[in-house]
Structure 1
Amino acid sequence: MPVFVTLISFALKDSQRLFILVFSGTKVSGKVVESAGDEVKEVKEGDIVIPTYIGECKECENCTSEMTNLCLKYPIALNGLMLDSTSRMSVRGQKLYHIFSCSTWSEYMVIDANYVVKVDPSIDPSDASFLSCGFTTGYGAAWKEAKVEKGSSVAVLGLGTVGLGAVDGARMHGAAKIIGIDKNPWKKEKGKAFGMTDFINPDDEPNKSISELVKGITHGMGVDYCFECTGVPSLLSEALETTKVGKGKVIVIGVGVDAMVPLNVIALACGGRTLKGTTFGGIKTKSDLPTLLDKCKNKEFKLHQLLTHHVKLEEIDKAIQLLKQPDCVKVLITI
């Protein structure tokens, strides 16, 4: 029988930052878990936790493998329902759906306890929010999926929160050359703050492809690893072309609105390259996410560089407009 957890969004500390708490069984008040269901073992009353959209049972074929973080027992909930095929949310009698099992915009919700991770209360709530997705996905892609090694070369397409996470992950695992690629010139300084060694703005040389620009600063060889973080369909083939023949590896992180995208099969098959997708950067929520939370607590990440704007909840329309501004990375919405 599934073990459920209830979730609340609330303001935390005198800075009134938005944070998400998850707790089990019944209700929550304030900023801590109020009560837990009888079968819940991982969290208890008083704990601070964050929701995740994948679980980890530590027992299934996938969880016991080092090849994937996609649990077979607690999969991604794409149908908007709980594992028991019910919805635990409603408004004025109308059933609502649990997007990716989290539904973090609701004031209260129920979530399976296997989709939450305990957080040290000393961690800044805004930093913790970046680790529940975004930054962690990019960082994990470099750490768990590509397994970037010392002295390697990396290209990152798109320097948003995910891309900057990939840059930081590559840096912390010893990459010698990290090339950031973005049409926003403001991202150059932001990328350098996370460890980027080279920056390419495709608009500066419109007559050359991105792969040509990358090879131009890698002695014609290309890079060992490329992280595609934009979801722009045409960039998937470009990402392949940026990598080395015979050993290049592309990690696809960005997902756009197109389910089907064109692909240069020659670059893949005849080039001997590897193309791999990832969810949450290959991070296992129970085994790996606590490691990243510890790094956050120890100030090993420059997560403050990601937070560029604050708005109040009633200014939500302003937040959407801010996302279009060149100096925007993440907007924190306060309640």
Structure 2
Amino acid sequence: METAGKVIKCKAAVTWEANQPFSIEEIEVAPPKAEEIRVKIITTGICGSDEHALTANLKDVTFPVILGHEGVGIVESVGEGVKDFKPGDKVIPLFLGQCDQCPTCKDPRGNICVLKAGKPAGLMSDGTTRFTCKGKQIHHFASTSTFSEYTVVHQHNLVKIDDETRLGSVCLIGCCFTTGFGSAVKTAQVKPGSTCAVFGLGGVGLSVIIGCKTAGASRIIAIDVKKDKFEKAKEIGATECIAPQDCDKPIAQVLVEQTGGGVDYVFECIGNIETMTSAIHASNYAYGTTVFIGISGLAKTITFDPMILLTGRTIKSSLFGGVKSKQFVPQLVSDYNAKKFDLDKLVSHKLPLEKINEGFDLMRAGKSLRTIMTF
């Protein structure tokens, strides 16, 4: 492309300080260096993790910064040493990269790349950034920074997808859908005929429901205080819905009674300490599995009697569904193209980048499932 090797000026949503609104700015995006790729972002989703970063409730976030980590785009240019990507490729940036060389990447049990964990916060591997605005260095976020028309990522943090893929809602596979779906089929390994309960019916919770249904669960109980989400939950696979405020008993007790001893698999998709505790107590005392997916933020602790685990309960956590990103993401995209699931059903709002603050307000008010920003 004619922009290869040149600085690109484009729009981005810059966060200058924590707890401040996004500012739409013209930024400069430097060409990719060795083993890096510059990507033109087409769509990007708004995720609760971005809100945690915005409010300084995540580690390793340095301001000013360009947030965003759930995107899809097209390769604009590649740096020296890049082998598997070329301009024009359709790609999904990966906040959880995969080097295929470190011990964790080689082990099928984990998906947290050691090389990713060793990167300097907000900078590329050489200790510098590819973004500038008004003469100031702007930091990267989650190795992706998708709230920008163009971004630069390391080749370990990018995966190529099918050429025929429609670049819209598929951006959700970059975080939301993979996180929820993978938590059901990979982390929990839901068995056919089992019972499942899902706390929180945002985009991730709905993706868990799709995963549970795909795995063959016979009963999927959806739980949320916002009853206007129930119709969508049932549409995609929930067999019943419960609003805790309508119950005359604690929700955990209700679930235990309704399932004759506790739920086989319980998923917490909110990141609320009280809900996490309820999820544990709602699981079957002998063999129930509880999966924590929601991010609780910094300085949060959970307290419970360890004796509740003695009889056989299991607690797991899941980041990006526990999956290997380079293998699982392309397969999910192929399944999406084959219409095995409908990502459009998870999208409640589509907004231009200029309305990103409106999109975050919708999420904070619980009025959106997933909002997609377009460029």
1:267, CA displacement in angstroms?
Answer: 5.3
1:270 aligns with 2:302: no
Residue aligned with 2:84, SS: coil
1:225-271 superposed Cα distances (whole Å, 9 cap, x missing partner) = 11110011111111110111132111111013343222213354334
Q: Distance in 2 between matches of 1:102 and 1:11?
A: 13
1:86, CA displacement in angstroms?
Answer: 2.4
Structure 1 runs not aligned, ≥5 long:
13-17, 22-31
Q: Distance in 2 between matches of 1:312 and 1:73?
A: 34
The 5-angstrom pairing of residues 194-209 of structure 1 reads 194-205=236-247, 207-209=248-250
- 8 Å contact from structure 1 (residues 7, 104) kept in 2: no
- 8 Å contact from structure 1 (residues 267, 273) kept in 2: no
Higher relative contact order at CA 8 Å, sep ≥6: structure 1 or structure 2?
A: 2
Residue aligned with 1:73, SS: helix
Identify the match of residue 258 of structure 2 among 193, 214, 217: 217
Residue aligned with 2:114, SS: coil
The 5-angstrom pairing of residues 218-233 of structure 1 reads 218-219=259-260, 221-233=261-273
Could you tell which deviates more after superposition, 312-321 or 175-184? 312-321
Q: Distance in 2 between matches of 1:267 and 1:217?
A: 23
1:4-35 superposed Cα distances (whole Å, 9 cap, x missing partner) = 122333479xxxxx9642xxxxxxxxxx4333
1:257-297 superposed Cα distances (whole Å, 9 cap, x missing partner) = 34322221335433432212221011211111111111111
The 5-angstrom pairing of residues 119-198 of structure 1 reads 119-198=161-240
1:169-202 superposed Cα distances (whole Å, 9 cap, x missing partner) = 1110111111111111112111112211121110
Give TM-score scaled by structure 1 length: 0.87
Q: Distance in 2 between matches of 1:90 and 1:256?
A: 31
- 8 Å contact from structure 2 (residues 40, 76) kept in 1: no
Q: Distance in 1 between matches of 2:75 and 2:245?
A: 50
**Partner residue of 1:74?**
116
Which letter maps to 2:358?
K
**Partner residue of 2:297?**
257
Q: Distance in 2 between matches of 1:127 and 1:317?
A: 20
1:304 aligns with 2:334: no
Which letter maps to 1:149?
K
**Partner residue of 2:90?**
48
**Partner residue of 2:137?**
95
Residue aligned with 1:83, SS: coil
Structure 2 runs not aligned, ≥5 long:
1-32, 45-69
**Partner residue of 2:277?**
237
**Partner residue of 1:27?**
none
The 1:316–1:286 alpha-carbon spacing in structure 2 relative to 1, beyond 3 Å, is: closer
**Partner residue of 1:284?**
324
Shift >6 Å, 4+ stretches: none
1:2, CA displacement in angstroms?
Answer: 6.0
Q: Could you say what the CA RMSD is over the residues aligned between the two structures, in angstroms?
A: 2.3
Give TM-score scaled by structure 2 length: 0.79
Q: Distance in 2 between matches of 1:302 and 1:87?
A: 36
The 1:237–1:77 alpha-carbon spacing in structure 2 relative to 1, beyond 3 Å, is: farther
Residue aligned with 2:169, SS: helix
1:327, CA displacement in angstroms?
Answer: 5.2
Could you tell which deviates more after superposition, 257-266 or 298-307? 257-266
- 8 Å contact from structure 1 (residues 228, 235) kept in 2: yes
Residue aligned with 2:142, SS: helix
Could you tell which deviates more after superposition, 72-81 or 50-59? 72-81
